[in-house]
Amino acid sequence: MQDGVPGYEIVLHLCTSISVPINLFAIFCIVTQSGNTMKKYKWYLLNVQIWIFLTDLILFILIAPRFYFPLIAGTMHGFFFYIGVPYEVQTIIGFGTGVGMLSACTQAIQYRHCQIVPPNSVLARNSKMKTILNCIRYFLFCQVSVPAVLTEPSDQMEAKLRVAAKYPFHPDFFFDPKVYLLQESPFFVFVPGSLIITYVFIELSFYILQSFRQLNKRVSHMSERTKQLQKKYFVCICVQVLVPFLFCIFPIGFLCFAIVSGYHVQFWNDMAVIVFGLHGTFATLVMLPLYQPYRKFCKTLVCCAFRPFSKVHSLAIM
C-alpha cells in the first residue's frame, strides 16, 4: 500500500477554509449585484453557485471521502461519519450532490439556448421536447448510485476476502469495519456514471453548437443588438461551466483509468479528490470576472469603496 497525501484529512478541511468564503461571496454578488438585464438568468446562476457550494461542503466537511481505486471501496472522515450516518446514505448524498451540480450547469446552458432559438423551435422555452429531455436527464441522474447501493455486498467481510484475493495491493487496514466496500466489481458504478457523462456531453454539445449557429446567422429573429447581448451571455456561461469541467478531466480521467486498468497509487487517488473538490472554487473565481456587475463590485472592494447593496446597472456584461 503506497502512502497517500500526508495529512489528507487536514488538507480537505483546509480546502474548506478557501472554498466557503469564496462561494459565499459569489452567492452574495449574484443576489445583490445582478443587473436588471439578467432577469431570470441570475436565478440559474444562483442555482449553479448553490450546488457548487453544497458539493464543496459535502466533499470537504460532511463526507470527506478517501477512495482506494481500483477497489470500489473507501473510508469517510467527515461530520456524517462521526454522527453515525449510514455509509449507504452518505454514498447516495455524495453522488446526488455531484449530479445535482451537473444538472444545474446543464440547466443554465439550456436556459440560454432557449433564449437564442426562434420561438417556434422544438426546443423553445415551453416546448414538449425540452420537457422530455429534462425528464430523461433527471431519470439518469436519479439512478446514478441506486444500482450500486442496492447490490452492495450484504456480508462485507466475505466480499473483502474475495476482493483481497483478486487485488493483492489492498491496504493493510482493508478489513477494518470503517472501510466500506461498495461493490466487488466496478460494473454498477462505472456503467451508470459513463451513461450520465455521455448523455450530458451530447446534450451540452448540441446546445452549444446550435446556439452559436443561430447567433451567427445573417437572418435571425433577433435584432443585431439583442444578438450581441445574447452572444455575450452565452459565451459567459460556456466559459463558466466548461472551464471548470476541463479542470476536472484529470481526476475523473485518472479514476476511470484506475478502475479499468487496475492501477493503484494512493497519492493520485487522494489528489484526484482534492483537485475535483477545488474545481468549484476555480469555477467561482472564473465566474466573478466574467460578468460586469460582479467584476465592477470586486473592483470597488479593491479600491476600498465598499457599498454592499448598491447594484451596478448596465446593459453590458463583458
List Cβ<8 Å contacts ≥24 apart for 59-65: 59/12, 59/94, 59/273, 59/276, 59/277, 60/12, 60/13, 60/15, 60/16, 60/19, 60/277, 61/12, 61/13, 61/16, 62/93, 63/90, 63/93, 63/94, 64/9, 64/12, 64/13, 65/94, 65/273
- DSSP reduced 3-state for 203: helix
Confidence band, pLDDT 50/70/90 cuts, at residue 205 = confident
Judged against a pLDDT cut of 70, whether residue 290 lies above it is answered with yes
**Which single residue is written with the C-alpha cell 451596478?**
312
pLDDT, position 79: 92
- DSSP state for residue 59 in the 8-state scheme: I
pLDDT, position 317: 41
**Which single residue is written with the C-alpha cell 446550435?**
210
* Closest to 33 measured CA to CA, from 227, 213, 292: 292
- The yes or no reply on domain 8-302 and CATH 1.20.1070.10 is yes
Across the chain, what does the average pLDDT equal? 82
Distance between the two ends of the chain, CA-based, in angstroms? 50
- Give the contacts of 76 (CB within 8 A, at least 6 positions apart): 63, 64, 65, 66, 87, 90, 180
Burial of 312 (0-12, 13-18, 19+ CB in 10 A): middle
pLDDT, one tens digit per residue, over 98-123 is 888 888 888 888 888 888 877 776 66
Confidence band, pLDDT 50/70/90 cuts, at residue 239 = confident
84: left (phi over 0), alpha (psi -120 to 50) or beta: left
Judged against a pLDDT cut of 50, whether residue 64 lies above it is answered with yes
- DSSP state for residue 37 in the 8-state scheme: G
pTM attached to this predicted model: 0.83
pLDDT, position 125: 62
Q: How large is the average pLDDT for residues 222-248?
A: 76
96: left (phi over 0), alpha (psi -120 to 50) or beta: alpha
Distance of alpha carbon 13 from alpha carbon 78, whole angstroms? 9
